[in-house]
C-alpha cells in the first residue's frame, strides 16, 4: 500500500468521514463546471431542495458546445444556445463566477483554471469531464466525475470516493528535439495499455519529467485517463511555483511564502512507498501517432501498423476492429498516410507552447492542396498571447484557419466535425470511433508539431525532418 | 428504434434483485462515445437518451445491433467484456442504457467513472473472470428468451433455461449501498456538515493562505 506520496498526503488532508458504504467522503477544494455535464446536476439539486454549499469554490466556463467561427449570441444552434443559457441562469441563481465568452478568460475548462491560478498544488479538483486529470500537473489530485457526482459536489463540496493505488511512472533521460510531452504520454499508454491505470493514480517523476514545462506536464497528466488512470500528477517544484506566481487567483505577498512552504511539504518524500513502479527512457521515444481506435494503438512515426502476431493476444480483437474501421492493413508504414483534416487544439494541446511548436513548423510553408487545417486556441488568453506574438498571422499565411477558443473538433459537439470517412491528424486525446463527429470518421492522434507537419506535407510526416531543414 | 422503459420503472430504494432477459454485447474497450455519441449530449434533461443508446453502431448495423434485435427488447441485464464504459465521464452513457431499460451490467471490468456513475443511478455493475463471462454470454446468446435473476446480496446470477448459476463479484461497499438503498448518497454527504467544516478549516488554501 502506498505511503508518504503526494496522493496519500492530499487524500488524508481532505478526508471528511468514512461512509457506511466503506467509501471515504473527500472534500473537494475546487469544482470546475461547464455547460454539458451540469444542467441535470442543478436540476437534481433543486429536486432535493438543496443549495450550493461553496459557490466561491465553484468556477464555470463554456467550452464544449461553443462555435469557433462566430461566437455571436444567440448561437445558430438553438440547442447549444439553450445549454449556454441554462448555465448562465444556474450560475446567476447560485452566485457562481462564470468566465463567459468575451470575458477575456473564457476557454476550455482545463486550460483556464491553470492559467488563472485557480489550480494549485495540494488541492482536490473535480469536474464533470474526464480530462480533469490535467490539473494533476500542479501536484493536485484531480479527477473527472459524472453528473450525479457534480450534484453531490454542488450540494456538499465533497464526494464519496475509494482510495486509489499509486503507480510511479519514472522517466529517465531527456526528450529529443521534435519529441514532445504528447509523444511521451502516447508512448506510455502504448506500452502499458489503456486499462493498466484502472484503480491507480499515476505519479509522473524522474529527470525527464522534472525538465518539462508546466504546459507539457498538463499534456502528460491530461492523458493519464486515456491510460485508465483517473488521475495523474507531478510533484510541485520550482517550475510549478514560477508558473503560478502572479496569476490572478494565486496567493500573493506574505501568503505566497506560506503557500510555497505548504506546497513543498506535500511532495512525495524520498521514503515514499508506491504500489507499483514502471520505468521509461525518454531518450528512446520517437514522435508517436495512433493508427487505431484506442489511444493505446500508437506507434513511432517510422513504424508500421502492427500485425496480429505483434499484438498481445487479448488485444487482437480490437486490433482487427481497428484495421477494418481505419481501413489500414497490418504492415502499412504510418509515415506517408494521407490525411484530410488537420486540427490543432483541445485541452491536451491547445496552449501557447503547443501553438508555438506548430507555428515553428508551419512558418514559411503551405498547407498541402485539398487539406483543411485549423487552429483552435484553448482559451481567450491563449488566443490573445498567440496573436500578440503574431502566431495567428504565421498560421494564416501558411493556409491554416485561425478560430475562436473552445473544445471544437476534439469531440465535435459544435459545428466543427469530420465528414464521412475523412481522416484527421489531430492534437486532441481520443481516437474513438465517431469521436470527431462523423460515425465513420478516422482520427490519428499526435503532437501539434506533428499535426503541422502533416498539414504541410499532405500526409503523416516525421516532424524532426522538417525541423532540420 | 425501440422505446425506453417507462420512467416509473427507474431504480428506486433498495436494489436487491434484477430479473429479466439478458443482452450480450461483446467486445473490449467499448467507450462512452459509442454508448452515446457526443451530439446527443446537447440536452438539458436525460429524458430522451434511451432512444439514442449506441446510435451510430446501430445505424451501421442496420437493425442487426443487439439493442435493435426484437428478441432483446425489454432485456434488463447487459453482458459485456473488458473495460466497458471507458473514455468520457458523461453520465449520459449509463443514463441512456438505463432509459433503454438496462438495470444491471455484468462484465469482466469497468472503467471507474462509468462504474461510479452507474452506482449513483442504482445500476449494479458486477464483474466476472474472462472464462466465466464467456460462459455467461454463451448461455444468454444460446437462449435469448432465458430469464436471468441477479441477487445483489450474494452477487450471484442464475438462469432458468438451461438451469445454471454463477458466482460474480461485487465489493462490499457497493453491495451494501445498493441493498440498503443508499446508493444515492447525496443526503449522507450533506448531513456530515460538521465534519465538512472541520476538514475545510485545516486546508490553508481555502483562506488563500491568509495565515
Ligand atoms: S477539449 Fe476535448 S477532452 Fe478537453 S474538455 Fe474539451 S471535449 Fe473534453
Inside any domain, residue A469: no
Task: Tell me the C-alpha distance between B82 and A366, whole Å.
Answer: 44
Relative to beta strand B125-127, strand B104-107 is: parallel
**Residues contacting residue A270 through CB under 8 Å, at least 6 positions apart:** none
Task: Tell me the C-alpha distance between B178 and B160, whole Å.
Answer: 24
Higher per-residue confidence, A64 vs B185: A64
Which of A400, A396, A392, A414 has the alpha carbon at shortest distance from A71? A414
**Residues contacting residue A69 through CB under 8 Å, at least 6 positions apart:** A403, A404, A415
- Give the three-class secondary structure for A95: coil
Which residues surround ligand 1 with Cβ inside 6 Å?
Answer: A 63-64, 108, 110, 129, 131, 346-347, 407, 410-411, 428-429
Inside any domain, residue A239: yes
The answer on A357 and A228 residing in a single domain is no
pLDDT of res. A9:
98
Single out the residue in A284, A311, A345 at which a domain terminates: A284
- CATH code of the domain containing A128: 3.30.499.10
Which residues of B are less than 8 Å from A53 in CB distance? 190, 196
The answer on A12 and A149 residing in a single domain is yes
Which of B88, B184, B211 minimises the CB distance to A258?
B211
The answer on A280 and A394 residing in a single domain is no
Q: Quote the ligand 1 centre to A3 CA distance (angstroms).
A: 32
Q: Which pLDDT band holds residue B3 (cuts at 50, 70, 90)?
A: very low
Q: What is the ipTM of this complex?
A: 0.91
Task: Tell me the C-alpha distance between A274 and A200, whole Å.
Answer: 11
The strand pairing partners of A15, in sequence order, are A26
pLDDT of A289-341, one tens digit each?
A: 999 999 999 999 999 999 999 999 989 999 999 999 999 999 999 999 999 99
Q: Hey, which of A407, A414, A424, A435 would you mutate to test ligand 1's pocket, going by the most ligand atoms within 8 Å of its Cβ?
A: A407
Q: Which pLDDT band holds residue B189 (cuts at 50, 70, 90)?
A: very high
The answer on A420 and A405 residing in a single domain is yes
Helix (H) or strand (E) holding A155: helix A147-156
Q: What is the DSSP letter of A29?
A: S
Q: Quote the ligand 1 centre to A44 CA distance (angstroms).
A: 24
Residues A193, A214, A35, A401, CA torsion sign: negative
Which of B89, B120, B196 minimises the CB distance to A144?
B89
Q: Verify whether the Cβ–Cβ distance A29 to B56 is below 8 Å.
A: no
Task: Tell me the C-alpha distance between A453 and A466, whole Å.
Answer: 7
pLDDT of A23-57, one tens digit each?
A: 899 999 999 999 999 999 999 899 889 999 999 99
What would the grid cell of residue B66 be? 443487439
In A173-247, where do the E strands start and end?
200-205, 231-234
pLDDT of res. A468:
83
Q: Quote the ligand 1 centre to A412 CA distance (angstroms).
A: 10
Q: How far is CA B35 from the centre of its chain?
A: 11
Q: Verify whether the Cβ–Cβ distance A20 to B44 is below 8 Å.
A: no
Q: Quote the ligand 1 centre to B144 CA distance (angstroms).
A: 39
8 Å CB contact between A68 and A403: yes
pLDDT of res. B42:
86
pLDDT of A228-237, one tens digit each?
A: 999 999 999 9
The answer on A266 and A215 residing in a single domain is yes
* Buried residues in B158-195 as b, exposed as e (16+ CB within 10 A): ebeeeeeebebebeebbbbbbbeebbbbbebbbebeee
Rounded to the nearest 5°, which phi and psi values hold at A28? -105, 120
- Complete edge-to-edge strand list for the sheet that includes strand A141-144: A97-99, A58-61, A30-33, A124-127, A141-144
What would the grid cell of residue A4 be? 508518504
Tell me the mean pLDDT in the region B103-127.
Answer: 94
Q: Verify whether the Cβ–Cβ distance A79 to B42 is below 8 Å.
A: yes
Single out the residue in A98, A129, A161 at which a domain terminates: A161
Inside any domain, residue A69: yes
Cα torsion at A13, A14, A15, A17 (round to 10°)? 130
Inside any domain, residue A457: yes
Task: Tell me the C-alpha distance between B100 and B181, whole Å.
Answer: 22
- CATH code of the domain containing A175: 3.40.1060.10
Which of B103, B119, B167, B10 has the alpha carbon at shortest distance from A19? B119
Tell me the mean pLDDT in the region A343-360.
Answer: 98
The answer on A304 and A403 residing in a single domain is yes
Please state, as a whole number, how many other Cβ atoms lie within 10 Å of the Cβ of residue A321. Answer: 17
The answer on A449 and A304 residing in a single domain is yes
The answer on A222 and A100 residing in a single domain is no
**Residues 325-364 (A) with a CB less than 8 A from some CB of B:** none
**Residues 54-83 (A) with a CB less than 8 A from some CB of B:** 57, 64-65, 77, 79-80, 82-83
Structural domain count, chain A: 3
pLDDT of res. A469:
76
For residue B2, count CB atoms less than 10 angstroms from its CB and return exposed for 0-12, middle for 13-18, buried for 19 or more.
Answer: middle
Single out the residue in A267, A284, A301 at which a domain terminates: A284
pLDDT of A127-147, one tens digit each?
A: 999 999 999 999 999 999 989
pLDDT of res. B8:
44
The answer on A316 and A275 residing in a single domain is no
pLDDT of A253-268, one tens digit each?
A: 999 999 999 999 999 9
pLDDT of res. B185:
79
Q: Which pLDDT band holds residue A96 (cuts at 50, 70, 90)?
A: very high
Which of B38, B195, B209 minimises the CB distance to A412?
B38
Res. A371: pLDDT tops 90: yes
For residue A65, count CB atoms less than 10 angstroms from its CB and return exposed for 0-12, middle for 13-18, buried for 19 or more.
Answer: buried
Inside any domain, residue A83: yes
Q: Hey, which of A428, A434, A436 would you mutate to test ligand 1's pocket, going by the most ligand atoms within 8 Å of its Cβ?
A: A428
As a whole number of Å, the end-to-end CA separation of chain B is 61
The answer on A59 and A120 residing in a single domain is yes
- Give the three-class secondary structure for A195: coil
**Residues contacting residue A313 through CB under 8 Å, at least 6 positions apart:** none
Inside any domain, residue A338: yes
The answer on A55 and A23 residing in a single domain is yes
Inside any domain, residue A1: no
pTM for the model: 0.91
Which of B100, B99, B91, B83 has the alpha carbon at shortest distance from B118? B91
Which residues of A are less than 8 Å from B188 in CB distance? 19-20, 160
What would the grid cell of residue A68 be? 469557433
Task: Tell me the C-alpha distance between A351 and A382, whole Å.
Answer: 6
pLDDT of res. B5:
43
The answer on A171 and A155 residing in a single domain is no
Inside any domain, residue A468: no
Which of B65, B62, B53, B63 has the alpha carbon at shortest distance from B27? B65
- Give the three-class secondary structure for A66: coil
Q: Is A421 left (phi over 0), alpha (psi -120 to 50) or beta?
A: alpha
What domain range includes position A340? 290-463
Amino acid at each position: 500500500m502506498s505511503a508518504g506520496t503526494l496522493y496519500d498526503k492530499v487524500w488524508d488532508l481532505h478526508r471528511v468521514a468514512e461512509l457506511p458504504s466503506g467509501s471515504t467522503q473527500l472534500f473537494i477544494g475546487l469544482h470546475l463546471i461547464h455547460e454539458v455535464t451540469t444542467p441535470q446536476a442543478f436540476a437534481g439539486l433543486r429536486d432535493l431542495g438543496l443549495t450550493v454549499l461553496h459557490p466561491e469554490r465553484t468556477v464555470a466556463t463554456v467550452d464544449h458546445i461553443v462555435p469557433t467561427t462566430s461566437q455571436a449570441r444567440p448561437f445558430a444552434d438553438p440547442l447549444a444556445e439553450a445549454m449556454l443559457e441554462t448555465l448562465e441562469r444556474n450560475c446567476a441563481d447560485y452566485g457562481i463566477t462564470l468566465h463567459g465568452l468575451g470575458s477575456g478568460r473564457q476557454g476550455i475548462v482545463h486550460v483556464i483554471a491553470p492559467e488563472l491560478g485557480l489550480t494549485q498544488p495540494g488541492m482536490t479538483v473535480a469536474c464533470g469531464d474526464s480530462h480533469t486529470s490535467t490539473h494533476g500537473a500542479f501536484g493536485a489530485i484531480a479527477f473527472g466525475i459524472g453528473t450525479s457526482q457534480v450534484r453531490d459536489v454542488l450540494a456538499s463540496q465533497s464526494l464519496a470516493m475509494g482510495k486509489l493505488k499509486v503507480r510511479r511512472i519514472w522517466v529517465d533521460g531527456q526528450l529529443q528535439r521534435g519529441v514532445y510531452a504528447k509523444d511521451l504520454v502516447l508512448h506510455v499508454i502504448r506500452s502499458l495499455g489503456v486499462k493498466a491505470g484502472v484503480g491507480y493514480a499515476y505519479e509522473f517523476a524522474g529527470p525527464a519529467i522534472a525538465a518539462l514545462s508546466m504546459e507539457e506536464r498538463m499534456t502528460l497528466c491530461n492523458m493519464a485517463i486515456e491510460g485508465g488512470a483517473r488521475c495523474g500528477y507531478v510533484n510541485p517544484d520550482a517550475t510549478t511555483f514560477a508558473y503560478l506566481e502572479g496569476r490572478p487567483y494565486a496567493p500573493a505577498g506574505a501568503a505566497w511564502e506560506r503557500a510555497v512552504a505548504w506546497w513543498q511539504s506535500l511532495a512525495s518524500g524520498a521514503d515514499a512507498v508506491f504500489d507499483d513502479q514502471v520505468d521509461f527512457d525518454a531518450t528512446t521515444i520517437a514522435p508517436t501517432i495512433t493508427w487505431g481506435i484506442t489511444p493505446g494503438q500508437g506507434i513511432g512515426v517510422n513504424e508500421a501498423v502492427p500485425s496480429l502476431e505483434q499484438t498481445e493476444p487479448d488485444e487482437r480483437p480490437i486490433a482487427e476492429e481497428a484495421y477494418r474501421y481505419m481501413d489500414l492493413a497490418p504492415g502499412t508504414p504510418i509515415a506517408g498516410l494521407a490525411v484530410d483534416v488537420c486540427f490543432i487544439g483541445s485541452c491536451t494541446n491547445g496552449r501557447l507552447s503547443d501553438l508555438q511548436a506548430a507555428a515553428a513548423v508551419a512558418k514559411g510553408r503551405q498547407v498541402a492542396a485539398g487539406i483543411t487545417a485549423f487552429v483552435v486556441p484553448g482559451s481567450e488568453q491563449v488566443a490573445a498571447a498567440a496573436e500578440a506574438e503574431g502566431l495567428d498571422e504565421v498560421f494564416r499565411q501558411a493556409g491554416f484557419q485561425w478560430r475562436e477558443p473552445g473544445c471544437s473538433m476534439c469531440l465535435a459537439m459544435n459545428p466543427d466535425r469530420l465528414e464521412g470517412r475523412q481522416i484527421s491528424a489531430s492534437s486532441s486525446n481520443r481516437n474513438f470511433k465517431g469521436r470527431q463527429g462523423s460515425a465513420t470518421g478516422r482520427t490519428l492522434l499526435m503532437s501539434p508539431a506533428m499535426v503541422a507537419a502533416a498539414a504541410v506535407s499532405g500526409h503523416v510526416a516525421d516532424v524532426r525532418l522538417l525541423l532540420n531543414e | 428504434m425501440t422505446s425506453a422503459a417507462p420512467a416509473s420503472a427507474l431504480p428506486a430504494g433498495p436494489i436487491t434483485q434484477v430479473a429479466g432477459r439478458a443482452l450480450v454485447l461483446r467486445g473490449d474497450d467499448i467507450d462512452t462515445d459509442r454508448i452515446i455519441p457526443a451530439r446527443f449530449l446537447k440536452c438539458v434533461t436525460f429524458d430522451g437518451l434511451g432512444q439514442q443508446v449506441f446510435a451510430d453502431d446501430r445505424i451501421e448495423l442496420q437493425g442487426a445491433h443487439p439493442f435493435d434485435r426484437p428478441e432483446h427488447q425489454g432485456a434488463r441485464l447487459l453482458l459485456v467484456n473488458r473495460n466497458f464504459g471507458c473514455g468520457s465521464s458523461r453520465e449520459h452513457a449509463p443514463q441512456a442504457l438505463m432509459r433503454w431499460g438496462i438495470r444491471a451490467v455484468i462484465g469482466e471490468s469497468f472503467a471507474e467513472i462509468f462504474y461510479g456513475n452507474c452506482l449513483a443511478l442504482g445500476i449494479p455493475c458486477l464483474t466476472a473472470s474472462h472464462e466465466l463471462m464467456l460462459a455467461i454470454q454463451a448461455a444468454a446468446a444460446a437462449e435469448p428468451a432465458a430469464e436471468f435473476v441477479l441477487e445483489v446480496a450474494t452477487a450471484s446470477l442464475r438462469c432458468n433455461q438451461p438451469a445454471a448459476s454463477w458466482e460474480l463479484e461485487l465489493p462490499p461497499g457497493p453491495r451494501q449501498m445498493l441493498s440498503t438503498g443508499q446508493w444515492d448518497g447525496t443526503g449522507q454527504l450533506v448531513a456530515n456538515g460538521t465534519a465538512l467544516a472541520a476538514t475545510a478549516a485545516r486546508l490553508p488554501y481555502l483562506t488563500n493562505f491568509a495565515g
